[in-house]
């Protein structure tokens, strides 16, 4: 096991706010620029999520302070750990806990973080795999676990994944299909139908099919993983079977939810919120162990691209425009 050393300078993408507005800038930082946290990590990889696109694209509402290093994921090796929870050289993963939003995140070659927020890299995996999973895959696994916890089983019927061509949706389709579920994928990008079938979807529908006109529609879904929110989520709830579970984990289609109590009090539908940001440590570790078992690197190869740090500003605009399929790993070099 090689132990990384702390460099005198290192590269990072910083988000600045000045009279010209909010903008990204590549900077060379020193260890003195890092604040907070009890653990130094040599970051090897990060990833690109929709929230990262909003941050790097200068959209308001994500970043809580300036200047800041965005990037809500990171994977690397421990340089030093004041708490003693990790030894130098230990491979670790960090998603959520406010990194890349409230505190500096993964788009830096060195990060100072809290050891309590780290997860050991699962055995038999590597750091690139961890970021091909990232927050998107972690969120998808939490959603699948929520369906299972609610008693949803493959023999109970179809499950729906909305926003299926995105990072969370793509991973959820694969995980549910691998677990034996009959998966229907909903997408606003009809050109992605073959891609989604390749992930295991048995049917691909347009998002317009989820526009419910009534509080209760014909029962169809035993379970739902919704990454979209808004009218798509409302329609999915109205079509969920008695005692089905809807796991809600996104709002790309809108934050408002216009529905009624009837699916919940007449069908016993469960609406489960998925918060990957502050997921407790025991469940977080369990989800990563499941991912290592159910989502090996080979399963992600066809849906993952690896790009350098320099490409982030352009990639941010692409993901916001709905032009990024699957997962994007950022190589910190």
Say if residue 238's pLDDT is above 70.
Answer: yes
Q: Tell me whether the CATH fold assigned to 10-121+297-331 matches the one assigned to 135-273.
A: no
pLDDT class of 193 with cuts at 50, 70, 90 = very high
Domain boundaries, the chain: 10-121+297-331, 135-273
pLDDT of residue 2 exceeding 80, the answer is no
Mean pLDDT computed over every residue of the chain: 94
Region of poorest pLDDT, from 164-168, 170-174, 184-188: 164-168
Q: Mean pLDDT over residues 114-125, rounded? A: 96
Does residue 115 register a pLDDT over 80? yes
Contact 131/121 with Cβ under 8 angstroms?
Answer: no
Query: pLDDT band at residue 1, thresholds of 50, 70 and 90?
Result: low
| Residue 240 Cα distances to 107, 203, 228, 272, angstroms | 40, 17, 16, 13
Question: Kind of pairing, strands 110-113 and 183-187?
Answer: unpaired
Confidence bin at 292 (pLDDT 50/70/90)? very high
The CATH class of the 10-121+297-331 domain is alpha beta
Rg of the chain over all Cα atoms, to the nearest angstrom? 20
Q: Are 80 and 40 in contact (CB under 8 A)?
A: yes
Which helix (H) or strand (E) segment holds residue 146: the answer is helix 127-149
| Joined tokens for residue 324 | 């990024």
CA-to-CA separations, 155 to 7, 144, 201, 225, in angstroms, rounded? 55, 15, 16, 17
Whether the pLDDT of residue 326 is over 80: the answer is no
Q: What DSSP letter does each residue of 44-88 carry, written as one string? A: EEEEE-HHHHHHHTT-TTS--SSSB---SEEEEEEEEETTSSS-T
Residue 247: per-residue pLDDT:
98
Q: Is CATH 3.40.50.720 correct for 135-273?
A: yes
Higher pLDDT, 327 or 278: 278
């Amino acid at each position: 096991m090689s132990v990384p050393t702390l460099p005198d300078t290192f590269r990072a993408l910083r988000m600045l706010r000045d009279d010209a507005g909010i903008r990204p800038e590549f900077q060379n930082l020193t260890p003195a620029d890092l604040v907070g946290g009890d653990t130094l990590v040599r970051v090897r990889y990060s990833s690109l999520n929709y929230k990262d696109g909003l941050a790097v694209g200068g959209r308001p509402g994500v970043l809580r302070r300036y200047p800041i290093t965005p990037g809500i994921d990171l994977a690397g090796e421990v340089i030093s750990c004041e708490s003693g929870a990790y030894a130098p050289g230990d491979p670790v993963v960090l998603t959520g806990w406010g990194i890349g939003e409230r505190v500096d995140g993964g788009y830096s070659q060195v990060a100072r973080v809290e050891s309590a927020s780290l997860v050991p890299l699962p055995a038999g995996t590597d750091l690139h795999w961890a970021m091909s999973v990232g927050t998107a895959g972690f969120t998808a696994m939490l959603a699948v676990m929520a369906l299972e916890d609610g008693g949803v089983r493959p023999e109970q019927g179809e499950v729906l994944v909305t926003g299926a061509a995105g990072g969370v949706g793509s991973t959820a389709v694969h995980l549910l299909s691998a677990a034996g579920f009959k998966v229907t994928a909903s997408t606003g990008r009809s050109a992605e139908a073959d891609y989604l079938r390749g992930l295991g979807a048995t049917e691909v529908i347009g998002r317009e099919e989820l526009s419910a006109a009534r509080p209760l529609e014909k029962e169809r879904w035993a379970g739902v993983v919704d990454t979209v929110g808004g009218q798509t989520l409302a329609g999915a709830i109205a079509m969920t079977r008695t005692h089905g579970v809807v796991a809600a984990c996104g709002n790309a289609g809108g934050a408002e939810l216009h529905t009624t109590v009837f699916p919940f009090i007449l069908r016993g539908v469960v609406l489960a919120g998925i918060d990957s940001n502050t997921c407790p440590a025991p469940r977080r570790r369990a989800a990563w162990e499941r991912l290592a078992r159910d989502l090996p690197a080979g399963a992600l190869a066809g849906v993952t691209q690896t790009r350098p740090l320099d490409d982030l500003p352009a990639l941010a605009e692409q993901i916001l425009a709905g032009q990024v399929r699957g997962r994007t790993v950022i190589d910190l070099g």
